[in-house]
Amino acid sequence: MSQDTINTTADNRPHDGDPNAPVLEVENLHVEFRTRDGVAKAVTGVTFDLLPGETLAILGESGSGKSVTAQAIMGILDTPPGFVTQGSVRFRGVDIQALPEKERRRYRGEKIAMIFQDALSSLNPVYSVGYQIGEMFRVHRGASRADAKTKAIELMDRVHIPAARQRVNDYPHQFSGGMRQRIMIAIALSLDPDIIIADEPTTALDVTVQAQVMQLLADLQAESKMGLILITHDLGVVADVADKISVMYAGRLIEQARSLDLYSNPAHPYTERLLAAIPRVDMKGQELYTIKGIPPNLTDIPAGCAFHPRCPYAQSICSEKTPPLEVVPGDRRSACHFWKEVLDGSLQIR
Amino acid sequence: MGTYVLRRLLQMIPVFFGATFLIFYLVLGMPGDPLAVMCGERGCDPSTANALRAQFHIGEPLYVQYFEYMKGILTLDFGETFSRRPVLDVMGDAFPITIRLATLAFIIEIFIGVPLGLVAGLRRGKFFDSSILLGTLLIISIPIFVIGFLMQYFLGLKLGWFRPTVSGEAPWNELLLPAIVLGTVSLAYIMRLTRTSVVENIHADYVRTAVAKGLPHRRVVTVHLLRNSLIPVVTYLGADIGALMGGAIVTERIFNIKGVGGTLYQAINRGEAPTIVSIVVILVIVYLVFNLLVDLLYAVLDPRIRYA
Amino acid sequence: MPDPSSKTVMPSQDASAAALTLGASSESKSLGKPRSLWSDAWHDLRRNPTFVISALLILFLILVAVFPSLFTSTDPKRCDLIMGNNGRAPGHPFGFDRQGCDVYARVIYGARASVTVGILVTSGVVLIGGFIGAIAGFYGGAAGSLLSRLTDMFFAIPILLFAIVFLSGFPFRNIWTVVAAIMLVGWPSVARIMRGSVISVKESDFVTAARALGASDMRILARHILPNAIAPVIVVATISLGLFIVLEATLSYLGIGLPGSTVSWGGDINDAQASLRTAPHVLLYPSVALSITVLAFMLLGDAVRDALDPKLR
């Protein structure tokens, strides 16, 4: 783990040649929030990559650093107080983290687009949805007003908004929650980006609408082969759609695995506890399991493994040494000193 | 949209009659002989007293007086001054001057206040922002007549950049210094209002969306942030026009301008009821009309109101 | 008006950063003693230099207003025409005005008029405007819209003109007519703020809960709504106090405010205007005193607003 400051010297050679090379490589990302109450280490040493057409879910409680990671990738952190202190974000080999803002801007929307949690507040209330979708073409492609509107209608059709032609001049508050989120998706989709980052895209929606919006995202991804980073706290949402899941806790990646592996046999006690905390129909009548304690204060993260105060298996080493994100057999990783024991279930709860 | 405008218009009617009646009552309805108040200690000569008696239907109930008077106003009959000049003529001389003055002040407010407020809001907590906050507070704290004297003394008398007083015709260029004085307080309010509004909106989700859409910084600020932040500022501007014309009474006195304020001031000193009531009624109408315009503008700026 | 309960968990200036750290920090804090909006505001205020300075300045001004003789032994009304518009002299640090009165003594004695008018008007306006606004907001409906139209009516008349017209109806002038005139034009803005604030608090769950428990209207208003709705009114009142002092000075400057027999800064500035070219110092001192006084109240209001509404910081 290199300790130098922002990595500006990362290799910037684009590797267009290999179609299976990762579109996005995040390496050793560190983000801090400098507030009056102290420095909050929101993201510490996060590393992952995303292959073309792949869906990666980043899972964690609020405050685990998952949204901050997304904002750092997009380059839309509020600075101050948020600062990327280390690490690189490479898009097709280009370290976009190191680019000047002017060039960086071209990646937003064009290469990497983002969908936010609350579509009502994320859409500008004073412009029509057609204007807000069309703005992408007008600014990035220099399209005329009329062309932009035609494109906006096409996109609204594509995300299955009924009567797109009639509704293109309506304002965000005139749409339902699910329809508004579709408009956000249409904006993200507009320039055919290689990656879409969806930050809790369905959290604010009703359960039935959630499923529709997730299905839409999955369909769109299948037809356009774009990469999808799905940020959520809801294990249920990611189960069907994600290829890979990364679990974050207190700003660190603590486990990474293919979805199926992670669900069937977690390699980190936190993931194990998370899965145990999902209400299940076949467990009806039994007490619902909850993880004891609260997530740590990011200005004062416990020494060693940040999860140790809440971990049922914690031993003395856990409060002394921070476990590295080790490669675990089966193309997965875990940041637990006892991943082997967690995997084969041989650990005893103290 | 149509019902919205209609509702605002209907709401204006009671406000108009209420406000004008209030003024009418203050000038004519107070206990005691209205003529004694109007004519003051010197007393009026009998012909003036008779004219006033006839014009205001003195002796009849107040509401009759009020309706007779309003009837006159609707037919542009505003009565006469003590020197038997139609009030309409007096206002015809005074209003163009004050309108020029208020327009200049208004332009200064908008074109200096909004950009400086925007920059302060964008640089919240930085030196520029703190200076704007303190400077505007200082301006608001110093009474307008003190600001007027200071500017008149330094810019007019000491430096000689402006004429310290304004000639009878009151051309645009001579009104510049008075307009700066008249506009300073509102200018300070507009800066603070814009700044607060920008600060409130700068972390709004839709601004973050605009950045994430890859829009250039300038477009994020002007098209998305500023447009939304201007909504409260526009509301303030509507109310401000009335205040500018009413507040001109002080500025016009300092610079010896023969506008509405100067005329009104004289009329009050003389107790010339027809002039006082007429001018204030006109100013109430000005206020209401501009407020209606602002309501319309508001609906244009914010679709949530238009379709409510 | 933000929900007061969220105030305690929002100590940080930035929402996004706050959201990050707060999950835990608010928890650990609330394990101690939970702080109310008021104690939280007081905690912030004591550490705010703006507040400390302006509050000390205001205390000093009140002291001057109540005991002017502590600060000067010269009688502000003993004047000697021969000294008219003279500069400073031993024992007369600010010189003399047109009538030959000691400017320093007049500045000291002038504080009383401004501070008295400011405090009287503000108290009156908060009581009247607060009452009308609370009733209008709480009952809504016909009474509410009637009161709203009434405030609209008052807003339609430019403040300064309104006060002037009101004062011109009196054959005499004293401090009470001035206080009445300023209260007349000042109450609607307090009423409007109070109404908005009461309406927003009225919707909150704890009011619904109190209603469900069968509390009477008056009890709900007095016990549950007012304590939570008063904060914006206090902020406006503090800032307005300064503006009322400006208005009093303006009226006195125009010669229809306080009578000439009352020593007031506005009146003195009016007198000094005639000799602006020859003796600017006579105008300077009361102007500076007036501006500092108003500024002190404005700064206080600003600090109070920051403490009660941390969002805007």
d(C-alpha A182, C-alpha A189), whole Å: 10
| CB contact set of C66 (below 8 Å; sequence gap of 6+) | C112
> Are the beta carbons of A173 and B303 separated by less than 8 Å?
yes
Q: Is residue C4 part of a domain?
A: no
CA distance to partner chain A, nearest, from residue B207 (Å): 8
* Two structure tokens written together for B168: 């009878």
B154 and B55, same structural domain?
no
Q: Are residue B42 and residue B151 in the same domain, yes or no?
A: no
| Cα of A103 to nearest chain B Cα, Å | 10
User: With pLDDT > 70 as the criterion, what percentage of chain C qualifies?
Assistant: 83
pLDDT at C25: 32
C99 belongs to a structural domain: yes
pLDDT at residue number C127 = 93
Residue B83 forms part of a structural domain: no
Domains identified in chain B, total number: 2
Q: How far is B209 from chain A (nearest CA, A)?
A: 6
Query: Which residue of A32, A34, A35 to mutate against C (max C Cβ within 10 Å)?
Result: A35
Nearest Cα of chain B lies from the Cα of C15 at a distance, in angstroms, of 8
Where residue C165 sits, what CATH number does that domain have?
1.10.3720.10
Residue type, B251: T
Domains and CATH numbers, chain A: 3-106+204-344 (3.40.50.300), 112-192 (no CATH)
Query: How many domains in chain C?
Result: 1
Neighbours of chain A (3+ CB pairs under 8 A): B, C
Interval B17-64: pLDDT, tens = 888 888 888 877 665 566 665 665 566 677 777 777 777 677 677 788
Interface of B with C in 104-143 (CB under 8 A): 133, 137-138, 140-143
Return d(Cα B66, Cα A336) in angstroms, integer: 87
Residues in chain C closer than 8 A to A42 (CB atoms)? 20
Residues B262, B195: contact at Cβ < 8 Å?
Answer: no
Query: Within a domain: residue B275?
Result: yes
Nearest to A33 by CA among C22, B206, B208: C22
Q: Examine residue C101 and state whether it is found in any structural domain, yes or no.
A: yes
pLDDT at C60: 92
Residue C152 located in a structural domain: yes
On chain A, the residues whose CB falls within 8 A of the CB of B209 are 116, 122-124, 184, 187
Reported as a single tens digit per residue, the pLDDT across C9-56 is 222 223 333 223 222 333 333 334 445 667 777 877 888 888 889 899
| Residue of chain C whose alpha carbon sits nearest to that of B266 | C254
Give, for B296, the enclosing helix (H) or strand (E): helix B273-301
**Residue A265: which of A349, A324, A341 has the closest Cα?**
A341
Does a structural domain hold residue B27? yes
Q: What distance in Å separates the CA atoms of residue A84 and residue C187, rounded to the nearest whole number?
A: 51
Tell me if B80 is assigned to some domain.
no
Contacts 24+ apart (CB under 8 A), A152-155: A152/A186, A155/A186, A155/A187, A155/A189, A155/A190
Show which of B40, B74, B108 is a domain's final residue. B74
Residue B210 Cα distances to A77, A123, A175, A334, C214, angstroms: 13, 9, 20, 37, 49
* C-alpha atoms less than 13 angstroms from C-alpha of A24 in its C-beta half-sphere: 28
- Same domain for B118 and B62, yes or no, is no
Amino acid found at A213: V
Grouping H, G, I as helix, E, B as strand and the rest as coil, residue B162 is coil
Beta-bridge mates of residue A38: A35
Contact criterion met (CB < 8 Å) for B307 and A174: yes
**B225/A124 Cα distance (integer angstroms):** 9
Out of A122, A128, A139, name the one closest to residue B205 (CB): A122
Find out whether the peptide bond into A80 is cis, omega within 30 degrees of 0.
yes
Domain assignment of residue C1, yes or no: no
pLDDT-derived band at B195 (thresholds 50, 70, 90) equals very high
Taking residues B237-252, report their average pLDDT. 81
**pLDDT tens digits, C175-192:** 899 999 999 989 988 988
Q: What separation in angstroms does the CA of B165 have from each of B98, B168, C118, C254?
A: 15, 10, 33, 18
The residue in chain C having the minimum alpha-carbon distance to the alpha carbon of residue A36 is C12
pLDDT tens-digit readout, C247-272: 998 888 888 888 878 888 888 888 88
Indicate left, alpha or beta for A14 from its phi (over 0: left) and psi (-120 to 50: alpha): beta
- Positions of chain A with pLDDT under 50: 1-13
pLDDT in tens, C135-156: 888 887 787 888 888 888 888 8
The helix-helix angle for C159-168 and B227-254 (nearest 10°) equals 40
For A51, A237, C20, C253, C264, the CA distances from C106, given in Å and listed in that order, are 82, 76, 57, 15, 8
Kindly state whether residue C43 falls inside one of the protein's structural domains.
yes
Q: What is the rounded radius of gyration, in angstroms, for the C-alpha atoms of chain C?
A: 23
Q: Label each residue of chain A as H, E or C.
A: CCCCCCCCCCCCCCCCCCCCCCCEEEEEEEEEEEECCEEEEEEEEEEEEECCCCEEEEECCCCCCHHHHHHHHHCCCCCCCEEEEEEEEEECCEEHHHCCHHHHHHHECCCEEEECCCHHHHCCCCCCHHHHHHHHHHHHCCCCHHHHHHHHHHHHHHCCCCCHHHHCCCCHHHCCHHHHHHHHHHHHHCCCCCEEEEECCCCCCCHHHHHHHHHHHHHHHHHHCCEEEEEECCHHHHCCCCCEEEEEECCEEEEEEEHHHHHHCCCCHHHHHHHHCCCCHHHCCCCCCCCCCCCCCCCCCCCCCCCHHHCCCCCHHHHCCCCCCEEECCCEEECCCCHHHHHHCCCCCC
HSE, CB side, 13 Å, CA atoms: give it for residue C281.
14
Give the structural domain span for B194: 90-301
Contact of C24 with chain A, judged by CB distance below 8 Å, is answered with yes
- Looking at residue A10, its pLDDT comes to 42
Residues B214 and B259 in one domain: yes
- pLDDT for residue C35: 58
Q: Does residue C23 belong to any structural domain of this protein? A: no
Task: Name the amino acid, one letter, at C175.
Answer: I
Residue B117 has pLDDT above 90, yes or no: yes
Q: Is the pLDDT of residue B2 over 80?
A: no
B271 neighbourhood in chain C, CB within 8 Å: 168
Q: Are A21 and A231 in contact (CB under 8 A)?
A: no
Give the C-alpha separation, B296 to B7, whole Å. Answer: 12
Tell me if B307 is assigned to some domain: no
What ipTM does the predicted assembly reach?
Answer: 0.83
Place of tokens 């709860």: A349
Domain of C282 in residue numbering reads as 37-312
**Given CB atoms, is C275 within the 8 Å cutoff of chain A?**
no
Pick C169's closest partner by Cβ from B27, B140, B247: B27
Cβ atoms within 10 Å, residue B127: 8
- Longest Cα–Cα distance of chain B, Å, equals 79
Q: Do A33 and C20 touch (CB under 8 A)?
A: yes
Q: Read off the CATH number of the domain in which B194 is found.
A: 1.10.3720.10
- Average pLDDT of the residues in B65-90: 79
Could you tell me if A156 and A133 are in contact, meaning their C-beta atoms sit under 8 angstroms apart?
Answer: yes
Tell me, what's the pLDDT at A284?
Answer: 66
Give CA–CA dist A259/A271, Å, rounded: 12
**What is the predicted pLDDT for the residue at C183?**
93
φ and ψ of B61, to 5 deg: -60, 155
**Is C18 part of a structural domain of the chain?**
no
Share of chain B above pLDDT 90, in %: 15
Kindly state whether residues B57 and B149 are assigned to the same domain: no
CB contact under 8 A, C295 and B14: no
B69 and B95 within one domain: no
- Name which of B213, B215, B304 is nearest A173 (Cβ-Cβ): B304
Buried b (16+ CB within 10 A) or exposed e, C86-99: beeeeebebbbbbe
Between B12 and C170, the more confident residue is B12
Domain match, B195 and B290 both: yes
pLDDT at residue C119, as a whole number: 93
Q: Is B52 on the interface with C (CB under 8 A)?
A: no
Q: Is B211 in CB contact (< 8 Å) with chain C?
A: no
Q: How many Å lie between the alpha carbon of B161 and the closest alpha carbon of chain A?
A: 44
Please name the chains neighbouring C, where neighbouring means 3+ C-beta pairs under 8 angstroms: A, B
Asked if B152 reaches chain C (Cβ–Cβ under 8 Å), the answer is: yes
Q: What's the rounded Cα separation, in Å, for the pair A150 and A130? A: 9
A297 and C14 in contact by Cβ < 8 A? no
Report how many helices (DSSP H) and strands (DSSP E) chain C contains, helices first: 13, 0
